[in-house]
Chain A
Amino acid sequence: MNVKDISDQGPLWEVFIQSKSGIPHKHAGSLHAPDAEMALTAARDVYTRRGEGVSLWVVQSNSITATTESDSESFFDPADDKVYRHPTFYTVPEGVKYL
């Protein structure tokens, strides 16, 4: 059997669903489609058969940049020792309100 060209399935897209207005879009999974319009209708058919969303985003997987596990520590480290970014670091004098 001929080995098919990978592009026969179209590129991979990541699907994000907004379940109702006011809530952020959440990653739901992925699918293959040749273009954006087909990716959107496929996303609707695959991921929202029960009214799971009011809005769909599809993004080509290779358009997404992400941190890697090995980078994570050094990348996020600087925030870990800045406790003064939290309100609980500060003492409010007794009796003073609305702070």
Chain B
Amino acid sequence: MLKVGNTVNFTPLICAIMTTEEREIEFQAKIDNGQKIEPKEWMPENYRKQLIRMISQHAHSEIVGMLPEGNWISRAPSLRRKAVLLAKVQDEAGHGLYLYSAAETLGIDRQTLTDQLLTGKAKYSSIFNYPTLSWADIGAIGWLVDGAAIVNQTMLARGSYGPYSRAMVRICKEESFHNRQGYEIMYELANGTEAQKQMAQDALNRWWGPSIQMLGPSDAASINSSETMKWNIKVESNDVVRQRFIDRTVPQAIAAGLTIPDPDLKYNDETEHWEIGPVDWNEFYRVIKGHGPCNKKRLSDRQRAEKEGEWVREAAIAYAEKQNKKMNSIAA
């Protein structure tokens, strides 16, 4: 029987013919076969929950991520850099929207997700709770934060859930300009005047640690990893992704003439990997729990934006309803 109505973004009830156990076996076989799962298919309740959690947190991170960078739009050093930064921040808004759209295919609505962010119930990436203190921070963010995001998102693009995986592909394409924009800023500053070089180095000193942390806790400490990896929501572990980011980024720093702020950093000739010193996981958990430098400000900025935009939403809805009434009375 065909289902009429909200079918593209609606998941049907479990068919009575198969038991839950049989469904789970069939589902796991699809995952192990590398098949994509689409919105209208049966899925374990925890698969749905994990995805809603991951995708919505990812979406919130994009939206909140607009704030530290938006801070420097009015003070970009040149018109070109201002236009470029505007385009980057616009992209982040778009990325958030792609992700909310993907989350909605799982049977949760946009308003609920927005409320979870605004009431502080939902998490977003720890990295966006840090302030942008100088123009060089904008460079550090594009280079390191977007750089880490690209490594993570390229991995997630191979994940099992169709809409999330497709959103990752679209985002990765757009993210590469962000990465180059940031590196270009850092490279030019590092090869500029002494004051510019110091500004770049200072930004790197502050953003390196949090960027390493943003890829998530080490595997043993990651509570969600075993389920997300069993179901190919995540395809590789946080530690693997983190190592890939480090190996790519250290040579970039060397090429720019900047120093990674880690006295224990060394290259291992045998493993051919760059090894870092201990990660400050206490800082990570402190920030995630709400005690970072900007957590309160980020949340209050989002709450204010929602409140100040209310008249626009009301006006748009009122206009749409008025037009609807007109159409209906003409048709009647």
Q: Which residues of A pack against B, CB within 8 Å?
A: 1, 3-10, 12, 14, 29-32, 34-35, 38, 45-47, 49-50, 61-62, 64-71
A12 near B2 with CB under 8 A, answer: no
A4 to B119, CA, bound (A): 13
Q: Which of A7, A31, A38, A69 contacts B101 (CB 8 A)?
A: A31
B317 near A10 with CB under 8 A, answer: yes
- Of B7-15, B52-60, B193-201, which stretch is located at the interface? B7-15
A71 near B1 with CB under 8 A, answer: yes
Q: How far is the CB of A24 from chain B (nearest CB, A)?
A: 17
The secondary structure that dominates the B interface is helix
Cβ of B223 under 8 Å from chain A: no
B9 near A30 with CB under 8 A, answer: yes
Closest to A27 in B: B8
For B275, the chain A residues whose CB sits under 8 A away are none
- Extra contacts, 16 of them, besides A8-B111, A34-B319, A50-B174 (Cβ < 8 A), are A1-B115, A9-B110, A38-B316, A38-B320, A46-B98, A47-B94, A49-B91, A64-B7, A65-B2, A65-B3, A66-B2, A66-B3, A68-B3, A68-B7, A69-B41, A70-B15
B6 near A62 with CB under 8 A, answer: yes
For B7, the chain A residues whose CB sits under 8 A away are 64-66, 68
Q: How far is the CB of B325 from chain A (nearest CB, A)?
A: 12
Can you offer 6 A-B residue contacts whose CB atoms are under 8 A? Answer: A8-B111, A32-B110, A46-B94, A66-B2, A66-B8, A70-B17
A29 near B316 with CB under 8 A, answer: no
For B4, the chain A residues whose CB sits under 8 A away are 65
A44 to B88, CA, bound (A): 17
Residue with the greatest number of chain B CB neighbours at <10 A, chosen from A32, A34, A67? A34
B102 near A29 with CB under 8 A, answer: yes
A50 to B320, CA, bound (A): 29
A38 to B15, CA, bound (A): 38
Cβ of B42 under 8 Å from chain A: yes
Closest to B315 in A: A34
- Return the CB mask of B64-91 against A: 1 if under 8 Å, else 0: 0000000000000000000000010011
Q: Give the 4 A-B CB pairs with smallest separation, nearest first.
A: A34-B320, A35-B320, A70-B15, A66-B7
Residue with the greatest number of chain B CB neighbours at <10 A, chosen from A4, A5, A45, A70? A70
Q: Which of A14, A29, A62 contacts B167 (CB 8 A)?
A: A29
Q: How far is the CB of A58 from chain B (nearest CB, A)?
A: 13
A4 to B91, CA, bound (A): 27
Cβ of B323 under 8 Å from chain A: yes
Cβ of B313 under 8 Å from chain A: yes
A29 near B98 with CB under 8 A, answer: yes
A64 to B3, CA, bound (A): 10
For A14, the chain B residues whose CB sits under 8 A away are 8
Q: How far is the CB of A28 from chain B (nearest CB, A)?
A: 8
For A49, the chain B residues whose CB sits under 8 A away are 87, 90-91, 94, 174
A50 to B94, CA, bound (A): 12
For A1, the chain B residues whose CB sits under 8 A away are 115, 118-119
Cβ of B104 under 8 Å from chain A: yes
For B316, the chain A residues whose CB sits under 8 A away are 10, 34-35, 38
B109 near A7 with CB under 8 A, answer: no
Q: Which of B6, B102, B118, B119 contacts A61 (CB 8 A)?
A: B6
A50 to B119, CA, bound (A): 34
A28 to B90, CA, bound (A): 18
B104 near A4 with CB under 8 A, answer: no
For A4, the chain B residues whose CB sits under 8 A away are 111, 115
For B15, the chain A residues whose CB sits under 8 A away are 70
For B319, the chain A residues whose CB sits under 8 A away are 34-35
Q: How far is the CB of A72 from chain B (nearest CB, A)?
A: 9
Q: Which of A10, A31, A35 contacts B97 (CB 8 A)?
A: A31
A10 to B2, CA, bound (A): 26
Residue with the greatest number of chain B CB neighbours at <10 A, chosen from A8, A29, A38? A29
